[in-house]
DNA sequence: CGAGGCCTTGACCCAGCTCAAATAAGGTGG
DNA sequence: CCACCTTATTTGAGCTGGGTCAAGGCCTCG
């Protein structure tokens, strides 16, 4: 007989996230009673820009993009998030519109919490307030870095920087194989370039650094060589913690 | 006989800033006892990137740029702040390095507070914690918008957007004259372009929209026309509150 | 009047974009 | 397992916005 599907341990999951790590058991239990676990397929739109600010999301698995689009239909991808990252605006009131839309770029599971519960917890518990402040600060610094990258790095360098995020903890001298986590087109937009440019820039990395690409598998013969190529045009140095 | 110079009312000034508006008199008084009023000339560097995170700044007057620079000497201006805006990192511990440098781009007065006092107040007073969260959220959304602009707007459009920030509260149909608040080169870098490009893009605006430029005075014959030209390539619409 | 700092202009170049078409890579029904 | 369809990715050809480098202008201040 088939075992019943194991229920997802929301409280346990949240406790592992820096934002929630300092909360009391009773609070986490309360949160998880109001939490919903959503599983969504690639392509699903979670909400659009200007939606009411009612929910806070924590990614359990998969990938989600945050984006803005202009009147004439251009899309700018602000960020692409994965397991352990979260989005939603505790610092905006419930009546202010969301400043971005969100959509799933690779099948994802998400914990969804009511925004007001987190806002109330900020008022009640200054430890949580400080944790939220820290999380948001890192987010903003991440954006600062993004602005710098788009100003001073070439397309191949931005790709190099992207690839290096998947090489942390790896010996610099060695070769390393990694898998691109979602569509190349989505990576391209996230890096602020067109898919065609992404494709061609990847060719440059092949030619100059001996990188090989097969489907979504990328092999980097020398992480050090890639660091040299990429990080000279950046203010932080590898491994680039944010 | 010459009157003694009036002492700057730090507590009164802080009370007018959204971040500090909710504080008790006694707290503000305490803050202002530890506050220093600094007056700095254009060109002064306040601190460099990676400096220890010990101070929090509120701009009283003038203009201050926040910037990052890469190994090979390129500079990316993250933001340029004026009266009522603040910078410093309450959400980073005192031992973490500042993620950007700061320099004065037009003679400025600044209130400088010890970072630890604000961090302590966050722990003590959740109203202040929430205010900090709100301020930081707006900062991050500002950065999101900046990323969008650099992705989807042309150089003349970015300049248009910059100029429009000085036209808020003004009848859209009318002409309007404003003064550029600091070096054109600094504006250029803040908008993510080179000074030469800034100069030429301004010529385009002259030709296409009848804008005139004399020194740092810019006259916009029709704010509406500029809005039409600029904001079609943006997700927010004029007046572009952040 | 001269020096230096800002800003503009000219000439040229090139990274990245556009448009269009050719290939891969999955996914589905038969 | 194959033919077919759909979606992703690559490639080609040509264009152009913005960058680079270098030379003037212009304004301010000593």
Rounded to an integer, what distance in angstroms lies between the CA atom of residue A75 and that of residue A189? 8
Residue B92 above 60 pLDDT? Answer: yes
Q: Is a pLDDT exceeding 80 seen at residue B4?
A: no
- Which nucleotide in the DNA or RNA is closest to residue B182, CA to C1'? C6
Band of residue B240 on the pLDDT scale cut at 50, 70, 90: confident
User: Measured between alpha carbons, how far is B177 from B239 in angstroms, rounded to an integer?
Assistant: 17
At A2, the pLDDT band (50, 70, 90 cuts) reads: low
The verdict on B130 touching A (C-beta cutoff 8 Å) is yes
Separation in Å, CA of B77 to nearest CA in chain A: 8
Question: What's the pLDDT score for residue B31?
Answer: 97
- CB neighbour list of residue B67: distance below 8 Å, 6 or more residues apart: B75, B76, B77, B78, B100, B101, B102, B103
Which chain B residues are Cβ-neighbours of A232 within 8 angstroms? 70-72
- For residue A169, the model assigns a pLDDT of 75
**What's the CA gap between B179 and A152, in Å, rounded?**
29
B63, B182 Cβ separation under 8 angstroms? yes
Alpha-carbon distance B169 to nearest alpha carbon in chain A (angstroms): 21
**pTM to 2 decimal places:** 0.93
A22 at B interface, C-beta within 8 A: no
Looking at beta carbons, which residues of chain B come within 8 Å of A150? 147, 150-151, 192
Query: What confidence category does residue B163 fall into, taking pLDDT thresholds of 50, 70 and 90?
Result: very high
Predicted confidence (pLDDT) at residue A10 exceeds the cutoff of 80: yes
The string of pLDDT tens digits covering residues B8-51 is 999 999 999 999 999 999 999 999 999 999 999 999 999 999 99
Closest partner residue to A141 (CB to CB) among B99, B130, B144 is B99
Q: Report whether pLDDT(A170) > 80.
A: no
Predicted pLDDT at B54:
96
Q: How far is Cα B97 from Cα B48, in angstroms, rounded to an integer?
A: 10
Predicted pLDDT at A114: 97
Give strand C nucleotides closer than 7 A to any protein Cβ: 6-11, 15-20, 25-26
Q: What percent of chain A has pLDDT over 70?
A: 98
pLDDT digits (tens, 9 = 90+) for B100-147: 999 999 999 999 999 999 999 999 999 999 999 999 999 999 999 999
Residue B1 in this model has a pLDDT that exceeds 60:
no
Q: How confident is the model at residue A4 (pLDDT cuts 50, 70, 90)?
A: low
Mean pLDDT of B157-170: 91
**Between B4 and B167, residue with greater pLDDT:** B167
What does the alpha-carbon distance between residue B86 and residue B157 come to, in Å, rounded to a whole number?
A: 27
Tell whether A144 is within 8 A of chain B (Cβ): yes
Quote the distance between the C-alpha of residue B113 and its chain's center.
18
Grouping H, G, I as helix, E, B as strand and the rest as coil, residue B89 is: coil
Of A78, A123, A133, the CB nearest to B136: A133
Cβ distance A198 to A188 under 8 Å? yes
Beta-carbon separation of B234 and A71 below 8 A: yes
Q: Does residue A34 have a pLDDT over 80? A: yes
Grouping H, G, I as helix, E, B as strand and the rest as coil, residue A214 is: strand
- Percent with pLDDT over 90 in chain B: 85
């Amino acid at each position: 007989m088939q075992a019943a599907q194991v229920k997802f341990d929301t409280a346990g999951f949240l406790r592992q996230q820096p934002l929630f790590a300092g909360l009391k058991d009773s609070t986490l239990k309360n949160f998880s009673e109001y939490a919903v676990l959503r599983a969504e397929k690639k392509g699903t739109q979670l909400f659009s820009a200007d939606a009411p600010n009612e929910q806070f999301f924590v990614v359990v698995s998969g990938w989600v993009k945050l984006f803005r689009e202009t009147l004439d239909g251009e899309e700018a991808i602000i960020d692409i998030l994965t397991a352990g990252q979260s989005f939603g605006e505790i610092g905006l009131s419930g009546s202010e519109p969301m400043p971005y839309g969100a959509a799933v770029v690779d099948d994802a599971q998400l914990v969804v919490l009511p925004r007001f519960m987190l806002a109330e917890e900020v008022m009640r518990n200054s430890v949580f307030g400080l944790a939220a402040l820290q999380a948001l600060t890192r987010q903003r610094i991440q954006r600062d870095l993004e602005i710098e990258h788009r100003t001073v790095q070439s397309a191949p360098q931005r790709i190099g920087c992207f690839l290096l995020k998947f090489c942390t903890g790896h010996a610099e001298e060695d070769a390393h194989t990694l898998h691109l986590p979602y569509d190349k087109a989505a990576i391209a937009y996230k890096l602020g370039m067109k898919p065609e440019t992404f494709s061609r820039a990847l060719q440059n990395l092949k030619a100059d650094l001996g990188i090989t690409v097969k489907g979504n598998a990328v092999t980097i013969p020398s992480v050090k060589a890639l660091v040299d190529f990429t990080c000279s045009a950046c203010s932080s140095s590898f491994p680039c913690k944010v």
